Amino acid sequence: SSISLRSALETTPVAYGFWLTLPSAPVAKTILRRSPEFSEGGFSWVLVDAEHGLINDSHYYELTNAVGHEGASPIIRVPWPEEWMIKRALDAGAHGVMTPMCHSAEDAAKVVSYCKYPPVGVRGYGPMFTPHSFPGVKPAEYDEKTHNEVMVIVQIESRPGVENVEEIAKVEGLDVLFIGPFDLAKQMRVTRGGEEHETAIQRVLNAARSAGKKAAIFCSDGDDALRRIQQGFDMVSITTDVAVFGDGMLNELEKAKGS
Ligand code: 3PY
């Protein structure tokens, strides 16, 4: 597949990714250049966060091209599961989209429909710049093949999302159920890491597996990611760009002070 994330999920034990909150192609490329190819254990995807980060749709084209040409899949998290937002992300070259707050199978089916051209879905056609972020893919190939392979990812991060997760997981064309643990705890009004929270997370993992879908989760750091991989998650984001900058600089400051 010309979608690195799809290939990684099919051919490697875990699809590793990281969160990009800064609208910076140089930041994304610096990280990707330092890490191995995904087939050698490096990153197969980058979450381009347009829900909570500083990124908006005028940044999409540059970011999808930067990430795509470094051999990883740019996955855009759109601000909300709206048809027009998903269309703009895919048109700008996203190899997949992630949508916040999926509460039901109906929600998930809408997202799938927004990602696929007719007759499968309702995605509008505006492919002028879309293939640019897929190395080697010609416009006709994008239309005929690649577009059907873009990753459709919904976030499970609410009580109804968890209660309906078995139905959500069965939705055809959906690839990944992605847990947002922070929102899940807040929306459920439970403690993050507490028993109810972990039971909900396990339920999402089980539902994905039973339906033959992939299960993914946002992790705060590498230790957190390892624990989730050991639980059976197929796809993890290991941390964020800004967390690494902040922690890394503080560590060096502490060293400089001899502490
Ligand atoms: C969450 O944890 O709520 C997320 O969506 C990841 O930032």
pLDDT in tens, the chain (259 residues): 899 999 999 999 999 999 999 999 999 999 999 999 999 999 999 999 999 989 999 999 999 999 999 999 999 999 999 999 999 999 999 999 999 999 999 999 999 999 999 999 999 999 999 999 999 999 999 999 999 999 999 999 999 999 999 999 999 999 999 999 999 999 999 999 999 999 999 999 999 999 999 999 999 999 999 999 999 999 999 999 999 999 999 999 999 999 8
Distance 119 CA to ligand 1 centre (A): 33
Residue written as token pair 């909900």? 200
Question: Ligand 1 atom closest to Cα of 237?
Answer: 6
Instruction: Give pLDDT, residue 233.
Output: 98
Element at 76 (helix H, strand E): strand 73-77
Distance 258 CA to ligand 1 centre (A): 36
Instruction: Give pLDDT, residue 201.
Output: 98
Instruction: Give pLDDT, residue 59.
Output: 98
Closest CA to 98 of 106, 85, 119: 85
Closest CA to 101 of 53, 36, 154: 154
The pLDDT tens digits of the residues spanning 153-166 come to 999 999 999 999 99
Instruction: Give pLDDT, residue 220.
Output: 95
Ligand 1 contact, 180 CB (< 6 A): yes
Fill in the DSSP letter of residue 145. Answer: I
- Give the integer Cα–Cα distance in Å for 22 and 25: 9
Paired with 125 in beta bridges are none
Instruction: Give pLDDT, residue 259.
Output: 80
Whole-angstrom CA distances from 138 to 83, 128, 133 are 25, 11, 11
**ipTM of the complex in this document:** 0.96
User: What domains are there in the chain, each with its CATH number?
Assistant: 4-256 (3.20.20.60)
Instruction: Give pLDDT, residue 1.
Output: 85
Distance 128 CA to ligand 1 centre (A): 32
Ligand 1 contact, 17 CB (< 6 A): no
Residue whose CA is closest, atom 5 of ligand 1? 180
| Under 8 Å between Cβ of 71 and 40 | no
Ligand 1 contact, 218 CB (< 6 A): yes
**Which of 153, 154, 157, 186 to probe ligand 1 with, by most ligand atoms within 8 A of CB?**
157
Measured in whole angstroms, how far is the alpha carbon of residue 112 from the centre of its chain?
Answer: 15
Element at 33 (helix H, strand E): helix 25-34
| Under 8 Å between Cβ of 58 and 28 | no
Residue whose CA is closest, atom 1 of ligand 1? 180
**Residue 147 burial class via C-beta count within 10 angstroms: exposed 0-12, middle 13-18, buried 19 and up:** buried
Residue whose CA is closest, atom 7 of ligand 1? 180
The pLDDT tens digits of the residues spanning 203-248 come to 999 999 999 999 999 999 999 999 999 999 999 999 999 999 999 9
